[in-house]
Chain A
């Protein structure tokens, strides 16, 4: 195989993933809290994060392509509950450092990440929080009201609200060029 083909980046061919010219399969796990644990701030517990990554690696989250797949959420905690993203277009610096730590530790274990940048659902903030910030109304929280249809309708209004969309602090194009902090 030509060395130029060994990019280390997963690509798509037809309906399949490929990595460096070979079919790519993965076993994945949801690690939505990885960024929080990696933070040097109040949510951080790097010893626990390292331990959990070791456990995942030991339990086959590398096979069969010798690469795992973890899913991390972006740093948008519910603004009123956890106090990380407490205003639009802003993430606590310690959480950026948490993401850097997480990705560096995953790289040591030959794991790959899927980073998601927003959330339709309420548990991490996301669309419903951005809508609330843009219109000045309280967050529509189905965990409080029990009305999931009203929540979903409110969350979906995000797609047509440029002011709400402007509150997103993390974009793929921004973050891929971000310098490591550790």
Chain B
């Protein structure tokens, strides 16, 4: 049915997701275009992201490709 690029990828720790959040957003945006990859053209592709927990509780920021102001989930 589909390829899931990773199981439950998180942007960083619960205490502070800031150190890697910018590159996480960048990778997420890039990978969401992979369904056009000719090698997997018939299967769906998902990033495996959990949404709320997979975006330091700021899914809209990741979806819109911007780094949120606060990235701690605690």
Residues of chain A having any CB pair with chain B under 8 Å = 7, 9-12, 69, 71, 73, 112-121, 124, 126-127, 148-153, 155-157, 159-160, 171-174, 176-177
Find B5's partner among A11, A118, A149, A150 (CB 8 Å cutoff). Answer: A118
Contacting pair B4 A156 (CB below 8 A): no
A18 smallest CB distance to B (angstroms):
11
Assuming the A-B contacts A118-B7, A153-B13, A156-B13, are A172 and B1 also in contact, with contact meaning beta carbons closer than 8 angstroms in the complex?
Answer: no
A117 touches B3 (CB 8 A): yes
B13 to chain A, nearest CB (A): 4
Shortest distance from the beta carbon of B15 to any chain A beta carbon, whole Å: 4
- Contact status B10-A155, CB under 8 Å: yes
Closest 5 pairs (CB-CB, A-B) = A173-B39, A116-B4, A112-B1, A149-B13, A152-B13
Query: What number of residue pairs across chains A and B have CB atoms under 8 A from each other?
Result: 104
CA distance A176 to B39 in the complex (A): 7
* Pairwise interchain contact A152-B12, C-beta atoms closer than 8 A: yes
| Complexed CA–CA distance, A159 and B26 (Å) | 9
Give the shortest distance, in Å, between B61 (CB) and chain A (any CB). 16
- Report B-chain residues with C-beta under 8 Å of the C-beta of A159: 20, 23-24, 27
State how many angstroms separate the Cβ of A164 from the closest Cβ of chain B: 12
A112 CA to B36 CA, complexed, in Å: 21
Whether a CB of chain A sits under 8 angstroms from the CB of B64 is no
CB neighbours of A151 from chain B (8 A):
13
A176 near B7 (CB under 8 angstroms)?
Answer: no
Nearest-CB distance from B34 to chain A (Å)?
7
Contact A148 B13 (CB under 8 A): yes
Contact A117 to B4, CB < 8 A, known contacts A9-B42, A12-B44, A176-B40? yes
Knowing A10-B1, A120-B6, the reply to whether A176 touches B12 (Cβ < 8 A) is no
With A9-B42, A116-B48, A151-B13 given, can you name 17 additional A-B contacts, CB distance below 8 Å?
Answer: A116-B3, A116-B6, A116-B7, A117-B4, A118-B6, A118-B7, A119-B8, A121-B8, A126-B7, A160-B20, A160-B23, A172-B3, A172-B39, A173-B37, A173-B38, A173-B39, A174-B39
- Chain A residue with Cβ nearest B49: A120
- Residue among B4, B12, B27, B40 with max Cβ neighbours from chain A (10 Å): B4
